[in-house]
């Protein structure tokens, strides 16, 4: 099986697709990672039915920790999907979802590294405000997020259970949580995903 991975910027995709269309046929699997470019757009620009897979990875692919969602196009087989899972599995974790959910994936795990970076920066700022040196504060904040993510992933625990485990009655953690809740921390994140998803839908329309 020949695999073609389309990894150019979304605004270049039509030009590149038109250029490679002559060599695309049903002997190849075409995997697109272009954000906001639908499988429908790809097959219409290519002008033929193709074995298509759409992937939405994130920047953590650089350290082999991507969270990648994959969608299977109509002509792609179960084996093609498995192949894509194998490829992107080498770059992190994969999930398979219907293409209709790709905007939500973009707004959540696609943009998620930026939200997490903001969280880490702010956590460290809090530490600095309370007297920690900047470098150590950033180190501790980053490791805290990494460690928590690994705990949840490796022990398969629900985040709410982990939170309950570390929030002892009358303790420090519950005081911090109460403050986060008062500032709408969780709803801010929920709304961030909704806004980013909406923006992804708008951009996808422009690229049609």
Ligand X SMILES: NC(=O)c1ccc[n+]([C@@H]2O[C@H](COP(=O)([O-])OP(=O)(O)OC[C@H]3O[C@@H](n4cnc5c(N)ncnc54)[C@H](OP(=O)(O)O)[C@@H]3O)[C@@H](O)[C@H]2O)c1
CB 118 to ligand X: min, Å: 16
Angle at 118 between CA 113 and CA 120, to 5 degrees: 90
Of 101 and 140, nearer to ligand X (C-beta) is 101
Closest CA to 148 of 140, 192, 181: 140
Output the smallest distance, CB 96 to ligand X, in A. Answer: 16
Q: In the structure encoding, which two tokens stand for residue 95, read together?
A: 């999930």
Rounded to the nearest whole angstrom, what is the least distance from the CB of residue 77 to ligand X in the complex? 24
Q: Which is nearer to ligand X, 36 or 127 (CB)?
A: 36
Least separation in angstroms between residue 140's CB and ligand X is 26
Nearer to ligand X, 91 or 137 (CB): 91
Interface positions with ligand X (CB under 6 A): 7-10, 12, 16, 33-35, 56-59, 110
**Would you state the structure tokens that stand for residue 179, as one six-digit string?**
């403050």
The distance of closest approach from Cβ of residue 60 to ligand X in the complex, given in angstroms and rounded to an integer, is: 8
17 vs 137, beta carbon nearer ligand X: 17
CA 60 → CA 53, 56, 66, 173, 204, distances in Å? 20, 12, 5, 29, 23
Query: Judged by CB, which is closer to ligand X: 12, or 161?
Result: 12
Measured at the alpha carbon of residue 114, what is the angle toward residues 109 and 119, in degrees to the nearest 5? 105
**Burial degree of 179 (CB within 10 A; 0-12, 13-18, 19+):** exposed
Distance between CA atoms of 54 and 73, rounded to whole angstroms? 7
């Amino acid at each position: 099986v020949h695999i073609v991975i389309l990894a150019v910027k979304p605004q270049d995709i039509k030009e590149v697709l038109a250029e490679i269309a002559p060599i695309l046929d049903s002997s190849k699997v075409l995997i697109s990672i272009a954000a906001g470019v639908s499988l429908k757009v790809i097959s219409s620009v290519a002008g033929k039915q193709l074995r298509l897979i759409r992937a939405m990875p994130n920047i953590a692919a650089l350290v082999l920790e991507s969270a990648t969602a994959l969608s299977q196009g109509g002509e792609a087989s179960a084996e093609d999907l498995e192949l894509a899972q194998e490829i992107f599995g080498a770059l992190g974790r994969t999930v398979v979802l219907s293409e209709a959910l790709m905007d939500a994936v973009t707004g959540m795990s696609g943009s998620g590294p930026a939200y997490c970076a903001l969280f880490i920066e702010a956590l460290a700022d809090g530490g600095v405000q309370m007297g920690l040196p900047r470098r150590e504060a950033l180190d501790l904040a980053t490791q805290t997020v990494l460690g928590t993510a690994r705990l949840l992933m490796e022990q398969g625990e629900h985040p709410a259970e982990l939170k309950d485990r570390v929030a002892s009655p009358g303790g420090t953690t519950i005081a911090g949580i109460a403050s986060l809740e008062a500032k709408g921390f969780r709803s801010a994140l929920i709304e961030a995903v909704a806004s980013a998803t909406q923006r992804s839908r708008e951009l996808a329309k422009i690229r049609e």
